[in-house]
Amino acid sequence: MIHRGGAARARTMAERQRTRSESHVTAVDPATHPPRPSAATGAPALEMRGIVKRFGPVTAVDRVDFACRVGEVHALVGENGAGKSTLMKILGGAYQADEGEVTLFGRRVTFSHPLDAQRAGISVIHQEFNLLPHRSVAQNIYLGREPHRFGLLDERALRNMVSALLHDLGIEHLVDPSAMVTDLSVAEQQMVEIAKAMSFDARVMVMDEPTAALSTREVDVLFGLIRELKARGVTVVYISHRFREIFSIADRVTVLKDGALVATREREGLESGELVRLMVGRDLADYYPDRASEDELGDVVLQVRGGGNAALHDIDLEVRAGEVLGIAGLQGAGRTELARALFGADPFTAGEVRLHGEPIELRSPRDAVRRRMGFITEDRKSEGLSLRQPIFDNVVLAYRSLRPLLGRLGREGKNGHPSVSELTASVDVRAAGLHQEVQFLSGGNQQKVVLAKWLATAKDLLIFDEPTRGIDVNGKAAIHRLIREAARDGMAVIMISSELLEVIGMSDRIVVMREGRIAGVLPGGSTEAEIMALATHGELTQEPAGNPTEEHGAVA
Amino acid sequence: MSAITAPTGRRARRWRVPIIWWLLLATFLIAWLLVSLYGRGNFVATSTLLNIVERATALGIVAVGQTFAILVGSLDLSVAYLISVTAVMASFIMQGDPSRVPLALAVVTAIGLTVGLLNGLLVTKARINPLIATLGMGLILRGLLNASFQNFAGSVPESFQVLAYGSVGPVPVPLLLFAAVVAAGALVLARTRFGAHIYAVGGDRATARLSGIRSDRIVIGAHMVASFAAVITGLYLASRLRSGAPWIGPDGVYDLESIAAVVVGGTVLAGGRGGVLGTIAGVLIFAILDVMFNQLGIGSYTKQVLRGLIIIAAVAIYAYRSREVVG
């Protein structure tokens, strides 16, 4: 594939940059690039062999082999903590493997920095984009590589290069080079990222859950772009949880579990039930704690009628004592906004909230804490914990907030209140001691500290927003157990998750949100297909071959 | 079930000697050595030590207040002018009349707390960057003050000069005042919920708010503490100078120097970490340098260079150490 016009110039820029750098890396010399095939040829593009990565005592990736052919779309699946991101961070140069080797187009490579990987032709599109919001699309794509004449920026050359690049990818009608990134939708920003990667002459592109925030239509556009990349011999590693997408775009699927390779399969002939079993190692029903039985459910604890604010409309929901109410929906559907409204962080401006039948007003998180509610936030590092402070201070944070300001410390407890060590023991925090700063704990243990904080004050309602994000498999199972235990102890639990398997596995009922509204309520054990149908406005008309979602539903 | 109590290990941890005290010790020993070799007089004489404490008192008290503002993730640049306002207003109201002292104290305290409240409101409710909010507040105070007073205004009665010149037995009153402010500051930070909330809000404001802490009120409270400390300093300076003048605050560079002392003392500028004890070490280091250079008869420019080096070196050491812990 030969670049035309500005893109070709862009390529020389990138090359110049390569030669200028004094990297000790065995970066592939662009002059000796193998000719780009126009489609998948079956030749190996990338081989990772025997990769091992340890973090302290934890082995995050354990002797994993992973290989991609030129021009294939290779889905990498596994639960959170299965080792996908670690493996891809090694490929992308963000981490260095402790053992194993990486071969790229037949040459052994080692990357000590993401830039090394980028120069060798590997680009990683992260979920959080690396774009400057207040610079234009063109400025972002050639950031740090701006064309210049006589020491001044050459705006026209920049514009031409970017236009050519976008045209080359067939997205020139979708992205305006002079638009500010902040004015673009998530999908458009993603295209900018992909264009940026291609401006680096990427030959292997890793996409980390690229559809997490996209609507169905935008996913179609993305898939068109991926097919275009594929047609020009770019190898795409596609990380996703969504079976439907995997089955419609991938050529092969590699499954990781607990940091180890489970299997690599051709997509053709693979059934979704089998894929689930490969991912979780057993049938889904055995993996999650049992749902609540009818007699474990108590009275309605929290009830919302017609709740609304800037982001939410006509929210009607109720949750009973002993119940885990799952909330599903695409990113941007208003799930986190709902949690924040329920907790008074961004309060409802319309409608009525009742706690135990009493109308209440929640204008600030403090009101919610007073009403014995707890909120385990999505971003535990910036909203759940004070990272540089000890476990003790984090656990007493909420409890202490309700006490008088000038009261002495050290008398936190009243009769019958558990001590901090009892609280941390009850959720099984593993740490050197209560004085240990939470920043040094694993994700799972950090989450347990947040939970301990709320168990000190919350009696009625716990809201979990993405409770197991970034937590390894064992930690996840422990958190799931703790969520269920909280419900068994008589609390009402609301659990938001973007992992459908988690919502299906944990929930007694499932509320599906779409565009700030409640699209529907499903009973526990509903299928992925049913949830997605509600979440995407029933746009689920074309099922990929093999109808995987239904089969998967049977497993769930 | 037992009550939630602080484990004993934790208390010990917060009261642990900050490393800056070793630097303080080193500074003291080096100053002693240099003065004995080249200087006039004896460095460890009581008079010299008292001289050090006296120099440290004014800056030390402001710096204790500044520690509160910085711990909560803010800072206060208006303290220098608030010190001037306090000193001038106090001596102007007193006019050398002992019976008017209570009135003067009430007025300057009210002014100080109002300024702190306004600073806090600007930083929290109006969401103005603390650097700008308190800088603006300082300029306003300066303008108001300079519009009304150009020179020493009024005077302080003899009885009020006890604050700067009196002594209880062998112990001078300024030393007692300094010690009392430090003890109060350390106690509030380590042993009250207000103190605990200051660390929580400074550590992570979003987390604190979502845990039910009224973070805005904590920030406002910290600003009021900072302003109140500046008022005490202003009163002390008025007592020492026997009157108040508009330039005494800015001449002492109490705004920047107090921030420097806090940072040298190991309090993180972003908030959430540090404490009064470190700040005091920073203040004492500066005071020792002052006295040493005086006794060595070296010009103040060298001193400023050395101060600058100490500030940068201290912060570099902290940055290095915090990286070490993470890695």
Interchain contact, B1 vs A412, CB within 8 Å: no
Is pLDDT of A517 > 70? yes
Interchain contact, A398 vs B214, CB within 8 Å: no
Residue in chain B lying closest to A377 (CA)? B210
Query: What is the C-alpha to C-alpha distance for residues A75 and A419, in angstroms, rounded to an integer?
Result: 47
Is pLDDT of A429 > 60? yes
Point out the least confidently predicted range of A236-240, A260-264, A446-450, A528-532.
A528-532
> What is the per-residue pLDDT for B141?
97
B142 min Cα distance to partner chain A (Å): 34
Greater model confidence, A380 or A554: A380
Q: Which positions 188-207 of B are in contact with A (Cβ < 8 Å)?
A: 190-197, 199-200, 203-204, 206-207
Q: Residue B272 is nearest to which of A386, A409, A416, comparing CB atoms?
A: A386
pLDDT tier at B10, thresholds 50, 70, 90 = very low
Residue in chain B lying closest to A396 (CA)? B4
- Strand locations in B82-155 (E): none
A370 contacts in B (CB within 8 Å)?
212
Q: How would you class B104 by CB atoms within 10 Å of its CB: exposed for 0-12, middle for 13-18, buried for 19 or more? A: buried
Interchain contact, B6 vs A392, CB within 8 Å: yes
> What is the per-residue pLDDT for B3?
39
Beta-carbon contacts of B84 under 8 Å, excluding residues fewer than 6 positions away, are B141, B142, B145, B234, B244, B245, B246, B247, B248, B249, B250
CA dihedral A33→A37→A40→A43, nearest 10 degrees, is -50
Q: Residue A408 is nearest to which of B9, B192, B272, comparing CB atoms?
A: B192
- Given the candidates 3.20.20.70, 3.40.50.300, 3.30.830.10, 3.40.80.10, the CATH classification of the domain at A5-31+71-95+113-270 is 3.40.50.300
What integer is the mean pLDDT of A312-340?
93
Query: What is the C-alpha to C-alpha distance for residues A474 and A258, in angstroms, rounded to an integer?
Result: 9
> What is the per-residue pLDDT for A12?
45
DSSP state of B161: G
A387 min Cα distance to partner chain B (Å): 7
Spell out the domain ranges in chain A.
5-31+71-95+113-270, 287-372+458-555, 388-457
B208 contacts in A (CB within 8 Å)?
386, 397, 401
Is B43 an 8 Å CB contact of chain A?
no
Q: What is the CATH number of domain A287-372+458-555?
A: 3.40.50.300
> What is the per-residue pLDDT for A284?
57
Interchain contact, A375 vs B210, CB within 8 Å: yes
A369 contacts in B (CB within 8 Å)?
211-212
Which region, left, alpha or beta, applies to residue A288 given φ > 0 means left and ψ of -120 to 50 means alpha?
beta
A457 contacts in B (CB within 8 Å)?
212
Phi, psi of A514 (to 5 degrees): -150, 125
Greater model confidence, B160 or B47: B160
B296 min Cα distance to partner chain A (Å): 43
Is pLDDT of A156 > 70? yes
- Strand locations in A110-196 (E): 122-125, 148-149, 152-153
> What is the per-residue pLDDT for A145?
84
Of the ranges A27-31, A500-504, B274-278, the best mean pLDDT one = B274-278
> What is the per-residue pLDDT for A3?
44
Phi, psi of A182 (to 5 degrees): -65, -20
A398 contacts in B (CB within 8 Å)?
211-212
Is pLDDT of B114 > 80? yes
What integer is the mean pLDDT of A33-44?
55
- Is B327 a member of any domain? no
> What is the per-residue pLDDT for A408?
62
- How many domains, chain B? 1
Interchain contact, B10 vs A434, CB within 8 Å: yes
Cβ A50 vs Cβ A63: under 8 Å: yes
Query: What is the C-alpha to C-alpha distance for residues A254 and A233, in angstroms, rounded to an integer?
Result: 20
3-state secondary structure of A359: strand
> What is the per-residue pLDDT for B326?
35
B123 min Cα distance to partner chain A (Å): 19
Interchain contact, B4 vs A456, CB within 8 Å: yes
Is B4 an 8 Å CB contact of chain A?
yes
DSSP state of A537: T
- Side-chain half-sphere of A105: how many Cα atoms within 13 Å? 22
Q: Residue B4 is nearest to which of A365, A401, A412, comparing CB atoms?
A: A412
Q: Which positions 147-176 of B are in contact with A (Cβ < 8 Å)?
A: none
B4 contacts in A (CB within 8 Å)?
396, 399, 412-413, 417-420, 456
- Is B75 a member of any domain? yes
B194 min Cα distance to partner chain A (Å): 5
Is pLDDT of A399 > 50? yes
Query: What is the C-alpha to C-alpha distance for residues A312 and A334, in angstroms, rounded to an integer?
Result: 7
B72 min Cα distance to partner chain A (Å): 13
Is pLDDT of B64 > 50? yes
- A157-206 pLDDT, tens digit per residue, is 999 999 999 998 989 888 999 999 989 988 899 999 999 999 999 999 99
Cβ A52 vs Cβ A61: under 8 Å: yes
Strand order of the β-sheet with A373-376 is: A373-376, A461-465, A492-496, A324-329, A509-514, A517-523
Interface with B, mutate which of A362, A370, A383 (most B CBs under 10 A): A383
Question: Mean pLDDT score of chain A, rounded to an integer?
Answer: 83
Cα angle B36, B42, B43; round to 5: 75
Same topology between domain A5-31+71-95+113-270 and domain A287-372+458-555? yes
Interchain contact, B203 vs A456, CB within 8 Å: no
Greater model confidence, A342 or A382: A342
pLDDT tier at A15, thresholds 50, 70, 90 = very low
Interchain contact, B212 vs A375, CB within 8 Å: no
Size of interface A-B (CB pairs under 8 A): 142
Point out the least confidently predicted range of A538-542, B34-38, B260-264, B287-291.
A538-542
Closest CA to A6 of A207, A154, A186: A154
Q: Residue B212 is nearest to which of A366, A384, A407, comparing CB atoms?
A: A366
- Strand locations in chain B (E): 167-168, 171-172
Is pLDDT of A326 > 80? yes
Is B12 an 8 Å CB contact of chain A?
no
Of the ranges A76-85, B126-135, B313-322, the best mean pLDDT one = B126-135
pLDDT tier at A520, thresholds 50, 70, 90 = very high
Interface with B, mutate which of A405, A411, A451 (most B CBs under 10 A): A405
pLDDT tier at A409, thresholds 50, 70, 90 = low
pLDDT tier at A271, thresholds 50, 70, 90 = confident
Q: For position B257, which CATH number holds?
A: 1.10.3470
Is pLDDT of A548 > 50? no
Angle (deg, nearest 10), helices A548-555 and A272-280: 50
Is pLDDT of B187 > 70? yes
Greater model confidence, B149 or A56: B149
Interchain contact, A366 vs B193, CB within 8 Å: no
Is B327 an 8 Å CB contact of chain A?
no
pLDDT tier at B36, thresholds 50, 70, 90 = confident
Interchain contact, B192 vs A388, CB within 8 Å: no
- Is B241 a member of any domain? yes
A37 min Cα distance to partner chain B (Å): 44
A414 contacts in B (CB within 8 Å)?
3
Q: What is the DSSP string of B223-255?
A: HHHHHHHHHHHHHHHHHHHSSB-TTHHHHTTHH
pLDDT tier at B84, thresholds 50, 70, 90 = very high
pLDDT > 70 in chain B, percent? 93
pLDDT tier at A554, thresholds 50, 70, 90 = very low
Closest CA to A537 of A504, A512, A511: A512
Query: What is the C-alpha to C-alpha distance for residues A283 and A274, in angstroms, rounded to an integer?
Result: 10
Of the ranges A153-167, B47-61, B300-314, the best mean pLDDT one = A153-167
A432 contacts in B (CB within 8 Å)?
none
- B196-247 pLDDT, tens digit per residue, is 899 999 988 989 999 889 999 999 999 999 999 999 999 999 999 999 999 9
B198 contacts in A (CB within 8 Å)?
none
Give exposure, A45-63, as e/b (b: 16+ Cβ within 10 Å). bbbbeebbbeeeeebbbbe
What integer is the mean pLDDT of A275-286?
71
Angle (deg, nearest 10), helices B173-191 and B193-203: 70
pLDDT tier at A285, thresholds 50, 70, 90 = low
Q: What is the DSSP string of A49-74?
A: EEEEEEETTEEEEEEEEEEEETT-EE
Q: Residue B7 is nearest to which of A392, A413, A416, comparing CB atoms?
A: A392
Interchain contact, B207 vs A409, CB within 8 Å: no
Helix (H) or strand (E) holding A306: strand A300-308
Is B9 an 8 Å CB contact of chain A?
yes
Residue in chain B lying closest to A457 (CA)? B211
> What is the per-residue pLDDT for A545?
37
Is B2 an 8 Å CB contact of chain A?
yes
pLDDT tier at A282, thresholds 50, 70, 90 = low
B326 contacts in A (CB within 8 Å)?
439
B206 contacts in A (CB within 8 Å)?
382-383
For chain A, state the CA radius of gyration. Answer: 25
- A366-392 pLDDT, tens digit per residue, is 999 999 999 999 888 888 998 888 899
Is B214 an 8 Å CB contact of chain A?
yes
pLDDT > 90 in chain A, percent? 47
- A56-68 pLDDT, tens digit per residue, is 777 889 999 999 9
A397 contacts in B (CB within 8 Å)?
200, 207-208, 211, 213
- Is B253 a member of any domain? yes
Interchain contact, B197 vs A401, CB within 8 Å: yes
Compute how many other C-beta atoms are within 10 angstroms of the C-beta atom of residue A455. Answer: 25
Domain region containing B275: 17-322
